[in-house]
Chain A
Amino acid sequence: MASEDLSKPLKTWSHLVRNKRRPTEYEIVSTNMLWSTGDQKAPWAMGPGTPMTQWYVKYRNQSPLKHADWDGFRDPDQLVYRTYNMIQDGQESFVDALLEDHSRNQHDLGLSPASLELLAHFYTPARYVIHTVQMASAYLVTMAPASTIENCFIFQSADQLRWVSRIAYRTAELKMTHPHAGFDRDERGHWENDAAWQGFRELMEKTLVAWDWAEQFVALNLVAKPAIDEALLRQFANLCRRQGDTLTALLLDAQMTDSARSRRWTTALIEYALKSGDPGNRALIERWLAEWVPLGDAAIEAFCPALGPEGASLSAAAKAEAAKFRAGLGFGQ
């Protein structure tokens, strides 16, 4: 670089010049933005005796999932902050319209006792599990080895706050119409004590302390999120639809839109780790999946059967769909 003519202006950041094409807004504002990845032994200016320095060396820099150039990863959606807000503002307007519409039609008054029971036990307590995903995604924001990966986790964490908020909204609204059905009262008890929730609780508590960044990513995005998506979102939405609870079904469908985006970049990141990463990456991910998938399946098996007589078939469908997502990435066909 020193031999270049430095008086000649650039067309883009010097680190993007070698691409020999006009960079996208995404590339301009998202790539190579971490300063702590330059020196693998000393991520921070604070010395090797500092606990946080040791944490980053051990759980990020020495992760067994290896790639010579994590910074080369690209989000297939090329999402940046301002487009995220545009998209989510639109999505939230849609949700507002759903809520307003159903409120005007007195939707909650028409809910059957069976639907209310389902919502109180399996929908409104879900803010706990969704919040654990918010927390785990935030951990991965702190630990991602490249800014393009970190940003995906930022949006994933924020998406969870979106749904914690909407579930809280519905909890308050349901309580207003049905003050004695346990809404805004029993959710923590259900999450902590009901057998149906213990699989997800165990899965998420353990995911939250899987400190190696890549292992937590695999546990979260390949096992826990797909299990939540398939059981709590897709199968539960289908059940609600059949019972005439269109609002919950539509809200869950909207939530699934965020999950679909997360799956697109998850797929891209796994492909990136497999195609150009260390040859040992595939076996490593397989090993992690062998450990985590049983916990994910157990969570689905504890949750779905509690939903009623159809539970067993919902459980089988949810497990199959979660497995199908992983199979699409080349694991466990």
Chain B
Amino acid sequence: MALLDRSAWYNIARSTNWTPKYVPESELFPKDQSDPYGIPTAEWETFDEPYKVSYREYVSVQREKDAGAYSVKAALMRSNYYENADPAYLSLLKMHYGAIALSEYAACQSDARMTRFSKAPSMRNMATFGMLDELRHGQIQLYFPHQLVTLDRQFDWAHEAHHTRNWATLAGRHALDDVMMTRDAMTTSLMLNFAFETGLTNVQMIGLSADAANMGDYTFSNLITSIQSDEARHAQIGTPVIEIMIRNGKKAEAQQAVDVAFWRIWRVFALLTGIPMDYWFPLEKRDRSFKEYMHEFVITQFERQLRDVGLERPWYWEHFLDDIETHHHCQQAGIWSWRNTVWWNPTGGLGPAERDWLEQKYPGWNATHGKYWDVIIDNLRNGRPEKTEAVGMPAICNMCQIPISNKGGTVWKARIYQREYEGRRYNFCTLVCRWVFDTDPVRYKDWDTIVDRMYNGQISPPTAENILRYMGSGVVSKGGRDAHDYAWVKGYDRSPQAAE
């Protein structure tokens, strides 16, 4: 007789619930860590993961995946790819690794919370693999950039970013602490596995991977595809959780958790993914626009997934569609203007051809976002680069921690949404960020944005130099500058009318 099929024993391995006797069940599974929705244990025991894997299969498959990813890297190292890469492309890697490596590692704790506190034994086993996956993603995304610190100190942020108080990492951490570090096991699954991993990671992994391959960076392209193959598996933990909640009359609660998390992650995700896709990759290397990827992999797919599990589109869907047209364009302009605050070198990247492309992909771009760049380009072409560096502080959203902005130019839409709570005034970039605050003010009310810290003495005195030092700029590495030293404005010399 040969070895048994997985199906012969799988159900036994996920039949591990017992009735506690020596401590009360409510103590073994405290609601703040486990299930605040009060769904009966027998209901959780119906949890059935759509994708099954055994430990034996896991270690074998993952060993092979790692062998693949690490050997591609070793091969490419010999080609001096990174020594000769476009500086704007290196900026993408700097931003990505700094934002992502420790964040993925943090998700080990989110999965571990499910392993310990889920009342669904199947989910506890699946989350154990999820925890291992996230360890992989944390470690491999430190291993790969590590050698790049020998090229450029800005790569040190792959490890250091989350230990600093840089505004960009504060924004990321605020969102991640909210959706995956401080929620009970069940809500974590809704927010992390479903809203984040099912909803959004495909764009990064498919879109960014295609663009990176076009750039010839097969190490990175292969790496994120390999990571996504893990995400696609453990993201599915969220689906049965939602189904069980809906069956037990908790649809509204599940919907709200998904809506909060999807928005929170979207606001950060658009910067990480949208900006490089639409501004940093050379035109000929862009597979599709960020918006096109979003429509294909989020609007269409996520909408269908929501429907399939019995949830609705988030109430703010129209705002979300509008944000896809707006948010990352505003932030590309903002980050470029405040480039000395970040740990990568963003390129303006806006020659005449690039503007044509943006106008085609985002009709109206020239009349709105383009107006901002008109001034910048005029300053650069007339020898006033210092005028393109922002001074002063933007207003920061009390939820997403990102500068409050919107379309300028001919359709001036910028405004601040406010809320008074316990005598303090909070500013928000959108109705949606304000709505998130309203869902749980106690959770959010005490946080100080980077700008609050300049006014309340945490950054003292709030001089430009001190502010930069507080954020780690000029401490961990030099702050950012234009990746191409403004070479992209030369395109206007050849076609002066395009600058008009």
Contacts and interface: CB of A to CB of B under 8 A. Distances in A.
Interface of A: 1-2, 6-15, 25, 28-30, 32-36, 38, 44-53, 55, 80-82, 84-86, 88-89, 92, 95-96, 99-100, 103-104, 127-128, 131, 134-136, 138-139, 141-142, 147, 150-151, 153-154, 157-158, 161-162, 164-165, 167-169, 171-173, 176, 184, 188, 191-192, 198, 201-202, 205-206, 208-209
A158 B132 contact: yes
A192 B63 contact: no
Which of A53, A165, A172, A176 is the most central at the interface, judged by chain B CB atoms within 10 Å of its CB? A165
B12 A141 contact: no
B177 A205 contact: no
A201 B156 contact: no
Interface string B474-488: 111110000000000
A4 to B, nearest CB: 9
Contacts of B460: none
Contacts of B13: 127, 164-165, 167-169
28 contacts: A1-B476, A6-B474, A9-B149, A9-B151, A11-B149, A13-B160, A14-B156, A15-B159, A25-B143, A29-B140, A36-B106, A46-B178, A49-B443, A50-B442, A52-B183, A89-B60, A92-B56, A128-B18, A141-B109, A142-B112, A142-B113, A157-B131, A161-B55, A161-B125, A161-B128, A169-B8, A176-B8, A205-B28
B3 A103 contact: yes
B42 interface: no
A14 B152 CA distance: 12
Contacts of A172: 4, 8-9, 12
B138 A33 contact: yes
Contacts of A168: 9-10, 12-13
B9 A169 contact: yes
B472 to A, nearest CB: 10
Interface in B128-160: 128-129, 131-132, 135-136, 138-140, 142-143, 146, 149-153, 156, 159-160
Given A135-B115, A136-B116, A141-B131, A32 B16 contact: no
Interface residues of B, number: 85
B105 interface: yes
Contact of A164 (B16, B136, B143, B474): B16
B391 interface: no
Which of A6, A128, A150 is the most central at the interface, judged by chain B CB atoms within 10 Å of its CB? A6
Report whether over half of chain B's contact residues are helix, strand or loop; otherwise say mixed.
helix
Contacts of B59: 84-85, 88-89, 92
A46 B437 CA distance: 12
Contacts of A38: 163
Nearest to B141: A29
Given A35-B163, A45-B178, A48-B446, A134 B115 contact: yes
A33 B16 contact: no
Contacts of B112: 138-139, 141-142, 153-154, 157
A191 B16 CA distance: 10
B139 A29 contact: yes
Contact of B55 (A15, A150, A158, A205): A158
Given A128-B18, A147-B105, A157 B128 contact: yes
Interface string B1-26: 11110001110110110111111000
B115 to A, nearest CB: 4
Contacts of A188: 15, 18
B444 interface: yes
A46 B444 contact: yes
B313 interface: no
Given A44-B182, A164-B13, A168-B13, 4 more contacts: A6-B474, A9-B149, A46-B177, A209-B27
Contacts of A85: 59-60, 62-63, 66
B116 A135 contact: yes
B294 interface: no
Nearest to A8: B153
B18 A35 contact: no
A154 B143 contact: no
B162 interface: yes
B315 interface: no
